[in-house]
Amino acid sequence: MAAGLGPGQRWRTTQVGQPEEAHRHVVEAGVAAAEEEVAEAYNIAVITFRGLNAITNFDMSCYDVKSILDSPVIPVGNGAK
């Protein structure tokens, strides 16, 4: 979920698992000046937790899914592309 923090302010995203899941993930995925940047942070976080089953804002081919899944931490920036 992405939420604007107000006009001229920054965007924030949090990855939350589905309510019916026994183990929901809540991760602060990023804060950025542009909505697109925060959508990308969300995508990386959701790929980390859901792998190839992730539903992303941008096409999955934009990301190096193998690197994301192999990483011990959620990669940021060029580490995910």
Confirm or reject CATH 3.30.420 for domain 2-72, answering yes or no: no
Q: How confident is the model at residue 61 (pLDDT cuts 50, 70, 90)?
A: very high
Model's pTM, two decimal places?
0.67
Pick the residue with more confidence: 32 or 47?
47
pLDDT at position 25 over 80: no
Quick check: helix, strand or coil at residue 19? coil
pLDDT of residue 43: 87
Query: What's the CA gap between 60 and 62, in Å, rounded?
Result: 5
Domain boundaries, the chain: 2-72
At residue 48's C-alpha, the angle toward residues 44 and 53, to 5°, is: 95
Query: What's the CA gap between 30 and 40, in Å, rounded?
Result: 9
